[in-house]
Each structure stands twice: as C-alpha cells, then as structure tokens.
Amino acid sequence: MELTRRRAIQIGVGALLISGLPFRASASTEDAIAAFTGGAEVGSGDVKLIAPEIAENGNTVPIEVSSDTAKEIMVLATGNPTPSVATFKFGKLAASRAASTRIRLAGTQDVLAIAKLEDGSFVQASRTVKVTIGGCGG
Amino acid sequence: MATGVKPRVKVPKSAAAGDTVTIKTLISHKMESGQRKDDDGNVIPRSIINRFTCDFNGENVIEVLLEPAISTNPYLEFEAMAPEAGEFKFTWYDDDGSVYETAKNIAIS
C-alpha cells in the first residue's frame, strides 16, 4: 500500500494512542484526585514517596511518604481496581509529616502521593513499581 | 466481626519532653478487599479497617483513612511528639462497626 499523507497521519495517531495507554490514568484515579484537591492544580515539590523499584509480592509492598509542610497526604495506586490506598492526616502532635505502611498492588503501575500543604496548595510525587506477583487475588 | 483481631503497638517507655518518638502499630486483620472470589466464584464481601487514629492526652497525632489496597495486618509507622508524660491512645475502626482500642503510657525522662 502506498503511504499517503492521510495514511501516515492515521498511523501516527494510532501509535500515539497505543503508547499513551499505560500512562493514561483511569477515570477513577482522576476522580479520586479531584475529590481530594477539589479541582485545584497539582504541582510538584515538597512531597516524597519512597517505594521499591521492584516488588516481588504485590500483596505487601512497603511504602513511605514524607513532606515538610503537608497537612494531608493521599496515596493512590493508579493501576489498582480501586485506586485509593490511604490518606494520612497529620495532627498537632505529629513530630514529622511522614508515615510508612504496606500496600497491595495489582500489577506493575505508578504509585502517586499527593500532598495538601499548609498553604492550601497541592503537590505530587510518583514512583513506578514493578510487581512480579499481583496482590488482588482473583 | 472479624475474628482474631489483635492490636500491637510499639512505643518507647520514656522520652525527653518534646522529643520525637517513633511509633509502630500493627493490627492482625485479614483486610478482605472485596475483589477476591471464593472457590465457587462468589465475591467475598469487603471487610477492612477503614480508619485509624492516634491521640496523645486528647490531642490528635495522626489520622489515617485506609482503603482496601492496604495489606493484610495493616502496619503503620509514624513519628509523634510527647510534650509531657501521658498516654498514647490508638483506635482502629472496622467496616462492621467494631472499634479496637489500645493505649500505651510514656514517661518523661
């Protein structure tokens, strides 16, 4: 088949769509972010997410979030059936705005931490975790 | 009510006033996600701990909202400040309405 201009554009658009798929956060992830931020813009900055690069067992993946000025930190697993993981709200007597826990990941995916800072702005950090065995049963 | 739920908490016995103490908590709970199916293909209903709070002498240290993506036997580690001697109170809230509580005293050295 001759490569016409129209055909080239079609191929290009198709390739873009396919390559974009794994990175397109599911609608429920966006909903969860919107519910947390109230639609405010999410920048990057004072929030850190520590997660292993490779997790052998998706049933228990240790993660740690920290920030200097966050009031709340929400953790999302974008590839899970329900993306919400946990929300940490720091009180008056929290010595540091940091916490760690263990989470379930259904498969290789991006884990997001979104922090609400004291000045009301939102920042996020993300890590890709490769999961050898998923942790959602089924 | 989920059976065999047992909270375990590690808090230093004493600390200097205003010092940072690291607190580790673990509660044995199956945290059924609501995603799994049994042998007959029926979905096992969700049963998790959905909220955890830690208070010191009535002041909040941390509140955590837990979702099904938290592992079995939820483990949480965080840092608190103890301005005076007193009691750390830990509370877990189950989906079924059960509330699990435990407390630890800390002295000022």
Stretch A52-69: mean pLDDT:
92
Looking from the CA of A94 toward its CB, the CA atoms found within 13 Å total 25
pLDDT at B5 (0 to 100)? 85
Phi and psi at residue A68, to the nearest 5°: -90, -30
Q: What are the tokens at A82? A: 């329900």
**Chain A residue closest in CA terms to B65:** A87
| Secondary structure (H, E, C), B55-99 | EECCEEEEEEEECCCECCCCEEEEEEEECCCEEEEEEEEECCCCE
When the pLDDT of each residue in chain A is averaged and rounded to a whole number, the result is 85
Residue that the structure tokens 């397109």 belong to:
A24
Q: Poorest-confidence range of A4-13, A56-65, B66-75?
A: A4-13
pLDDT at A78 (0 to 100)? 92
Residue that the structure tokens 């089924």 belong to:
A138
Confirm or reject contact between B85 and chain A (CB < 8 A). no
Cβ-Cβ contacts under 8 Å between A and B: the total is: 107
Confirm or reject contact between A105 and chain B (CB < 8 A). yes
pLDDT at B72 (0 to 100)? 92
Stretch A90-99: mean pLDDT:
92
User: Domains in chain A and their CATH numbers?
Assistant: 24-131 (2.60.40.2470)
pLDDT at A26 (0 to 100)? 66
Confirm or reject contact between A52 and chain B (CB < 8 A). no
